[in-house]
A and B are shown apart, each in its own frame.
Chain A
Amino acid sequence: RKEVEQDPGPFNVPEGATVAFNCTYSNSASQSFFWYRQDCRKEPKLLMSVYSSGNEDGRFTAQLNRASQYISLLIRDSKLSDSATYLCVVGYSSASKIIFGSGTRLSIRP
């Protein structure tokens, strides 16, 4: 089993829709969580950190569920420009280790 697992998608949704995807992690010692975004043929870039209390940045909301060991990303009022691959990232400070998920592809159609 992979340490960080994501549904690869693709998620194909109409513009304006709300879309959500999850990421599960296997190690309960995980301590830091992030969502990165990667556009086609580009490098990954930090989208947002995920805090225990959940956090929001405009149309994006990230949640952490430690009991079930998953994090989620919700995108409201999706735009064409949201089309990208979203990478879930989990860090373990005790091991100075950070692991990227394989990513979830999102495609927004007009």
Chain B
Amino acid sequence: DAGVIQSPRHEVTEMGQEVTLRCKPISGHDYLFWYRQTMMRGLELLIYFNNNVPIDDSGMPEDRFSAKMPNASFSTLKIQPSEPRDSAVYFCASSLSHGTGQETQYFGPGTRLLVL
């Protein structure tokens, strides 16, 4: 398996622009997670899906952020409009299970976002 795939790997955009991050989880994994990592705040869970349904979006910073999972093999995280404080590394992860003690999460390589 190719592992979790994310695109783009790097994104530089200007404040106010829309940014769309993409993720393909490992085939057969029922859970998909979006994280944001910064030096100041560490790794923060933004939202996670189970069987394509959003379960917990309490980590989504504000209405500018939205996430979708139209099918089992694809998810997007959208920021509209983007702001400089959104600059971070965004990771997508997937797992077979969650909250069972056997929930190893497999992370994608991340998208490094810089908003100017």
A61 vs B108: C-alpha distance when bound (angstroms): 26
The residue of chain A having its C-beta at the shortest distance from the C-beta of B43 within the complex is: A100
B98 to chain A, nearest CB (A): 5
Contacts of B101 in A (CB 8 A): 31-32, 49, 91, 93
B103 touches A98 (CB 8 A): yes
Number of interface residues of A (CB under 8 A): 23
User: Given A32-B103, A93-B100: A43 and B109 within 8 A (CB)?
Assistant: yes
User: Given A96-B98, A98-B98: A91 and B103 within 8 A (CB)?
Assistant: yes
- What DSSP secondary structure best describes chain A's contact surface? strand
B103 touches A44 (CB 8 A): no
A101 touches B42 (CB 8 A): yes
Number of interface residues of B (CB under 8 A): 18
User: Given A96-B55, A101-B42: A45 and B107 within 8 A (CB)?
Assistant: yes
A25 to chain B, nearest CB (A): 15
B99 touches A43 (CB 8 A): no
User: Given A43-B108, A43-B110, A46-B105: A91 and B43 within 8 A (CB)?
Assistant: no
A98 touches B100 (CB 8 A): no
- CB of A1 within 8 Å of the partner chain: no
Residues of B within 8 A of A (CB): 35, 42-43, 45, 55-56, 91, 98-101, 103-105, 107-110
26 inter-chain pairs at a CB distance below 8 angstroms, sorted by A residue, are A31-B101, A32-B99, A32-B100, A43-B91, A43-B107, A43-B108, A43-B109, A43-B110, A44-B105, A46-B104, A49-B101, A49-B104, A87-B43, A91-B99, A91-B103, A93-B99, A95-B99, A96-B55, A97-B56, A97-B99, A98-B45, A100-B35, A100-B42, A102-B43, A103-B42, A103-B43
